[in-house]
Amino acid sequence: MNFFPTTKPLSQIATDLLAVQIFENDKTLEPNIKELDRVLGGEISELLKVKDFRGKFCETQIMHTSGQIAAKRVVLLGLGKKAEYDLDKLRSAISTLAPYIQKYRIKNLAIALTKTLPKKSAVELAAQAITEGVILSNYRFVHYKKLEEEEKPAELLNIQLVPANLRDKTKIQKGVAVGQILGTAVNYARDLGNHPANVATPAHLARHALDLAKQYRKNLKVKILDSPGLRKENMRGLLAVSQGSDEEPKFIILEYQGKKSAPTVALVGKGITFDSGGISIKPSDKMEEMKFDMAGAATVLALIKAACELKLPLNLVGLIPATENLPSGKALKPGDIIRSRSGKTIEVVNTDAEGRMVLMDALDYAKKYKPALVIDFATLTGAIVVALGDDIIGAFTNQNSFFPGLQAAAQITGEKIWPMPLEKEYEQFLKSDFADLRNIGALRYGDHIIGALFLKNFVNYPWIHLDIAGVAWANREKPYRPKGATGVGVRLAIEFLKSFKPRR
Ligand code: BES
Ligand code: ZN
Ligand code: ZN
């Protein structure tokens, strides 16, 4: 897909589909749309007058132009009320194009920007949001399906963005470049999450990391630790979880250097490529979805890829402990005691609380880099799904001053995040009679908090833990979010890192 600005009048743009955006109950059409309406013989104003189209949020109206203008078709997109218009409304309205792109097998698309900008944004951000909307809403995962010709994904080639002010051309160029990088990175994370666990193994994740290193060799170094390397590094938590599986565990280390003098931020991603629960086995209903338990790892790979392309002026370290969690004669058992890399011993009370067992070693490993910040991404607990549902990330941090920055980034990217407490009083529930810690709380509820408190034992740096168990997989479609792996967290983290300044 190739995005670029065009400054022709709307009626002269040669394209398969021209998208024009209209606010609800807007009394006067914007000048360029008014001109288009005139050439079309007043058809747009007629539709509005008889209320066949009202500009309601995500409403659409297709018009065939029978040669009156250079575009074959015009589609009106409703943006809703001007007072409620923000970047996510724009992204969502743009995503209503996807069914038309598919139905008419659109190759060339043009989108007119409105003069009114979304709340708290600039032209660059609007162009970026449009680009993300197009890329994210046209994502389909069809690797394993034989499709009829018309079911195959349409091949969208050129997308022209038409500014409302001609002098915004270069701003649009900048916005689409960023949007394209981010949209593509999210879809990359989605692909990783959607591949089944017999394909997306720890070795598959490692191969992806090595491919990235090849592609961006100027700024990126990748190292993979196998079992012998893990033993040398005392990463017995990761080794213990992998015991029951025939797939080799991998610890993936990605080092991105964006700017020598800049601080280092480590990104840690839970990479359980299949979570059966192990000996504490899960019920079989919906167990197939547990192939997405590596969504944190996918997020980290996508973030590093995006950072390389954006040339983010930071140093990033990606750390991914990757393994399956399966039962077998060799598997980890409830009651087993494991010595973590940090030296603390863990009584494994439930083998299904495996995420924290692999993350504890990765978080400890991160200390090597003296990071200014560590962010971990993990589908850690079912409890966060109970607490926040399927669309809100649960955020924990040992420095509450990070929350406003996270919320501000979420405002821009349209992802949702909510602060959760590292409640001290609950720490007592992690005490074990036989080891330094138990891996599940002795309290029946609040496991999202207890899981985070468990991880806190292994950090000595500014730290943000994002529990993405609810948001990383969708059983319900939303604008630009198809069912399956969502890639949620990728755009948010980039937006947050763009303005990250270490605290003293
Ligand atoms: N990967 C799961 C968390 C999960 C559950 C993600 C449901 C998405 C949907 C994690 O490894 C797990 O199994 N957690 C257990 C912890 C429990 C044993 C303390 C859980 O949440 O049930
Ligand atoms: Zn589990
Ligand atoms: Zn898990």
Spacing, Cα 399 to ligand 1 middle (Å): 25
pLDDT digits (tens, 9 = 90+) for 295-350: 999 999 999 999 999 999 999 999 999 999 999 999 999 999 999 999 999 999 99
356 is catalytic: yes
pLDDT of res. 394: 99
pLDDT digits (tens, 9 = 90+) for 442-493: 998 999 999 999 999 999 999 999 999 999 999 999 999 999 999 999 999 9
pLDDT digits (tens, 9 = 90+) for 219-275: 999 999 999 999 999 999 999 999 999 999 999 999 999 999 999 999 999 999 999
Torsion of CA 183, 188, 110, 19, to 10 degrees: -70
444 is catalytic: no
Point out the ligand nearest to the CA of residue 278. 2
- Nearest protein CA to atom 3 of ligand 1, as residue: 381
Q: Which of 288, 352, 447 to mutate to test the pocket of ligand 1 (most atoms within 8 A of CB)?
A: 352
Sorting pLDDT into bands at 50, 70 and 90, what band is 504?
A: low
Spacing, Cα 115 to ligand 1 middle (Å): 47
Choosing from 91, 270, 356, 456, the catalytic residue is 356
pLDDT digits (tens, 9 = 90+) for 408-449: 999 999 999 999 999 999 999 999 999 999 999 999 899 999
SS3 111: strand
Rg (CA), the chain: 24
In whole angstroms, give the CA distance from residue 399 to residue 378: 19
List ligand 1's pocket residues with C-beta within 6 A: 275, 293, 350, 352-355, 379, 381-383, 385, 440, 447, 469
Per-residue burial over 21-32, b if 16 or more Cβ lie within 10 Å, else e, is: bbbbebeebbeb
pTM of the full structure: 0.98
Spacing, Cα 353 to ligand 2 middle (Å): 5
Two tokens, residue 123 = 């032209």
- Nearest protein CA to atom 17 of ligand 1, as residue: 353
Residue 21 bridge partners (DSSP): 77
Choosing from 81, 107, 119, 282, the catalytic residue is 282
Contact 371, 264 (CB under 8 A): yes
